[in-house]
């Protein structure tokens, strides 16, 4: 994937900037030792950073269809990774380097993504755009001076090129067969009541742990509702309503079950 981006950038710069000239396009680290050996004009694209582009990450799964339009598999969406290139021009005169950098900037500003006609290999098979940006401010966590300090070379004017490459290296999950009409039955009417699950000796919610569950009498097990029992004491057989001690009579009134 990275080498395919290198090939696209090399062919683009040779065709639209250098015009088939004798200036080489290389991808070496511009260290102090390497700079001392440069004896011919060249354009250097040093890949100094690789990290995921979190703004382009997607969630969920993408469906894959067969010739009938049925889903046969699902896979994760592609994840984009930013390839950061440090572009420098190397000639004998600083004026020639500035002129070459100006041509590179004008060429790369004309594209918001790598030209589709120049994509090959896995980049062409994905069928997605490969965005790129040129000469944007560096992130807050690094600066170009730090890059040159790490390389041990002298600071030079440069262009920062960032290419966001989609990567589809993810597992594919096979989908189950589509739902059909075979084996589909519909039934109308009263359905049998499912048996109540057994408590299994578990405590009742709100009850004290270990307290046995009260069992209902057999006579009341088959009926549902509310039973109310009222007891009151009345006087003897007189109609005056007076109360006589020692002669209570229990009268019981039971409400029918609802």
224 falls within a domain = no
15's CB contacts (< 8 A; 6+ apart) are none
Residue 148 lies in a domain: yes
Full domain range(s) for residue 138: 2-168
Classify residue 254: in a domain, yes or no: no
pLDDT tens-digit profile, the chain (258 residues): 899 999 999 999 999 998 877 899 999 999 989 988 998 999 999 999 999 888 877 777 767 777 777 777 777 778 889 999 999 999 999 999 999 999 999 999 999 999 999 988 888 888 888 999 998 887 776 677 778 778 877 788 999 999 999 887 766 767 766 666 665 566 666 666 666 665 555 555 555 555 555 555 555 545 554 445 555 555 555 444 444 444 444 444 444 544
In a domain, 9, yes or no: yes
Q: What is the CATH number of the domain that holds 71?
A: 3.30.2000.30
- pTM to 2 decimals? 0.62
Asked, for residue 84, whether it belongs to a domain, the answer is: yes
Decide if 74 is inside a domain. yes
| CA-based R_g, the chain, Å | 43
Q: Is residue 184 part of a domain?
A: no
Q: Residue 101 to residues 139, 174, 197, 216: CA-CA distances in angstroms?
A: 22, 50, 80, 94
34-41: list long-range contacts, CB under 8 Å, 24+ apart: 34/153, 35/90, 35/153, 35/154, 38/90, 41/89, 41/90, 41/91, 41/92, 41/96, 41/100
CA angle 102, 105, 111 (to 5 degrees): 150
The answer as to whether 244 is a domain residue is no
3-state class (DSSP) for residue 109: helix
* Phi (first) and psi of residue 17, to 5 degrees: -115, -50
Domain count, the chain: 1
254, containing H or E segment: strand 249-254
């Amino acid at each position: 994937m990275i080498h395919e981006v290198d090939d696209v950038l090399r062919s683009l710069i040779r065709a639209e900037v250098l015009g088939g000239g004798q200036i080489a396009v290389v991808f070496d680290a511009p260290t102090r030792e390497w700079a001392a050996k440069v004896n011919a004009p060249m354009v250097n694209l040093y890949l100094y950073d690789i990290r995921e582009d979190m703004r382009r990450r997607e969630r969920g799964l993408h469906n894959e269809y067969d010739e009938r339009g049925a889903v046969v598999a699902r896979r994760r969406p592609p994840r984009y990774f930013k390839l950061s290139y440090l572009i420098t021009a190397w000639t004998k005169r600083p004026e020639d380097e500035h002129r070459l950098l100006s041509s590179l900037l004008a060429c790369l500003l004309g594209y918001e993504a790598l030209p589709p006609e120049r994509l090959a290999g896995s980049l062409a098979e994905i069928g997605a755009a490969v965005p790129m940006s040129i000469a944007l401010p560096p992130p807050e966590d690094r600066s170009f001076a730090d890059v040159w300090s790490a390389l041990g070379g002298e600071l030079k004017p440069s262009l920062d090129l960032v290419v966001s490459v989609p990567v589809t290296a993810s597992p594919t999950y096979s989908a189950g067969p589509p739902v059909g009409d075979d084996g589909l039955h519909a039934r109308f009417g009263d359905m049998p009541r499912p048996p109540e699950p057994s408590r299994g000796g578990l405590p009742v919610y709100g009850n004290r742990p270990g307290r046995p569950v009260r069992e209902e009498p057999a006579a009341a097990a088959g009926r549902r509702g509310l039973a109310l029992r009222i007891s009151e004491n009345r006087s003897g057989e007189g109609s005056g309503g007076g109360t006589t001690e020692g002669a209570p009579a229990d009268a019981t009134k039971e409400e029918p079950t609802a």
